[in-house]
A = this chain, B = another copy of it.
Amino acid sequence: MTEESRPERFLQIGEAAERASLTQRTLRYYEEKGLLNPPTRMDGGFRLYSPEDIERIDRIKQLKELLGFSLAEIKEMLVAEDVRTQIKAEWRRDADADEKAEKARTAREVTLHQLALIDQKMEKMSSLREELAQRVQRYDELLVRFAESKEPEPAPSQS
């Protein structure tokens, strides 16, 4: 409900940073490192982030915090995203259809690769989860035994 969804306006760096819970420095850094393409500027040179830029920022945050990828890795992963927007932009222009299809195939491949990475991580995670769950169960059993040795004659208790 408090979800900050895609804005309809262009945002200056301050607002953009706040939305994503990042700092302005971080956004500039991402741009410097090629993760964000240079946003448009106002006459005075102030950065103006488009809704697409904002989405991309969220994407980066997601990939970083969730999957723990390095910025370099994320940069690679975002190639697929780039191709996608590029295709969209060129859609009704007279670009070579074969070329576009090739790009789409590439983007598909990259996305599939990301999917595979995620699946790998999720598998490992769920086996770790299992391990921990079992451990909790063993603690429970242990605690029950402690309680039993203390209360040989369990009295009926409420609540």
Binding site for B on A (CB under 8 A): 62, 65-68, 84, 87, 97, 100-101, 104-105, 107-108, 111-112, 114-115, 118-119, 121-122, 124-126, 128-129, 132-133, 135-136, 139-140, 142-143, 146, 149-150
Contact = CB atoms under 8 A, between A and B. Distances in A.
Contacts of A136: 108, 111-112, 115
A23 B143 CA distance: 40
Given A104-B139, A142-B104, A143-B104, A125 B128 contact: no
- The number of times this chain is found in the oligomer is 2
Contacts of A66: 121, 124-125, 128
27 contacts: A62-B128, A66-B121, A66-B128, A67-B68, A67-B125, A68-B68, A84-B135, A97-B146, A100-B146, A101-B146, A104-B143, A104-B146, A105-B139, A105-B143, A107-B139, A108-B139, A108-B143, A111-B132, A112-B136, A115-B129, A115-B132, A118-B129, A118-B132, A121-B125, A122-B125, A122-B129, A125-B125
